[in-house]
């Protein structure tokens, strides 16, 4: 599909924008928080997670072993896999309704730091992939936000100038770099915050919200 210079397209992050994320701190149970700092922050700083979410490691047993090499956790294997799977929560009905509405009017894309395993849950169980012309996953691209390369790859592959890409992410560091790369990027959050942002930016209006009772 060709894109004119005046056509705006929409690009969304995945976690906490389209799908609720559940805590993963239980992965590090048995390791003293005072020695470990914020357990939730370990996910974003873990080298094992980075290897998984850039596609360098596509084995969950190897991922578990890598986590145990980083930190002497004691969580049993089956509990580890349960926590890992349940990190992906629900997609609210209002998000499905919103995406279905937007898909009729705009080109939709997704840009996410995630693993093949977590995306398969979103794709197979939540059926999120059906709304997007293309999804950009860190595990496919081998690079993660906020690395500048991932934003350049995405804009080049969809053949849209960055200034026409309206991007929504829940992490300020990702939004900041997207803006540096020329995107119309905004910090948002799943649910009414995202809906209000899209309304304020002219992608939906009050009439849409009245017609689509599950939105808002």
Q: Average pLDDT across each block of 10 residues of the chain; the chain has 216 residues. List them in order.
A: 67 98 80 52 87 96 91 85 94 96 97 97 95 98 98 97 98 98 98 97 91 73
The pLDDT, as a whole number, for residue 170 is 97
pTM of the predicted model, to two decimals?
Answer: 0.91
Q: In whole angstroms, give the CA distance from residue 150 to residue 13.
A: 13
Strands (E), 82-164: 108-112, 134-137
Buried b / exposed e across 114-142, counting CB within 10 Å, b at 16+?
A: bbebbbebbeeebebeebbeebbbbbebe
Angle between helical axes of 148-158 and 172-180 (0-180°, round to 10): 60
Residues 9-20+89-211: name the CATH superfamily.
HAD superfamily/HAD-like (3.40.50.1000)
């Amino acid at each position: 599909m060709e894109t004119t210079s005046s056509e705006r397209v929409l690009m969304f992050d995945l976690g906490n924008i389209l799908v609720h994320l559940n805590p993963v701190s239980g992965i590090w149970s048995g390791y003293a928080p005072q020695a470990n700092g914020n357990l939730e922050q370990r996910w974003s700083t873990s080298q094992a997670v980075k290897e998984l979410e850039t596609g360098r490691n596509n084995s969950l047993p190897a991922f578990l072993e890598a986590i145990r090499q980083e930190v002497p956790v004691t969580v049993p294997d089956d509990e580890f896999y349960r926590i890992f799977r349940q990190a992906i929560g629900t997609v609210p009905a209002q998000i499905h309704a919103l995406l279905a509405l937007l898909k009729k009017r705009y080109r939709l894309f997704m840009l996410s730091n995630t693993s093949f395993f977590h995306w398969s849950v979103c794709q197979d169980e939540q059926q999120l992939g059906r709304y997007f012309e293309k999804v950009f996953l860190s595990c496919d691209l081998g690079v993660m936000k906020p690395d500048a390369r991932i934003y350049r790859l995405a804009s080049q592959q969809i053949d849209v100038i960055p200034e026409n890409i309206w991007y929504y992410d829940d992490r300020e560091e990702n939004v900041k770099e997207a803006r540096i790369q020329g995107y119309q990027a905004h910090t948002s959050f799943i649910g009414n915050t995202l809906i209000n942002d899209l309304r304020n930016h002219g992608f939906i209006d009050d009439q849409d919200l009245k017609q689509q009772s599950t939105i808002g």
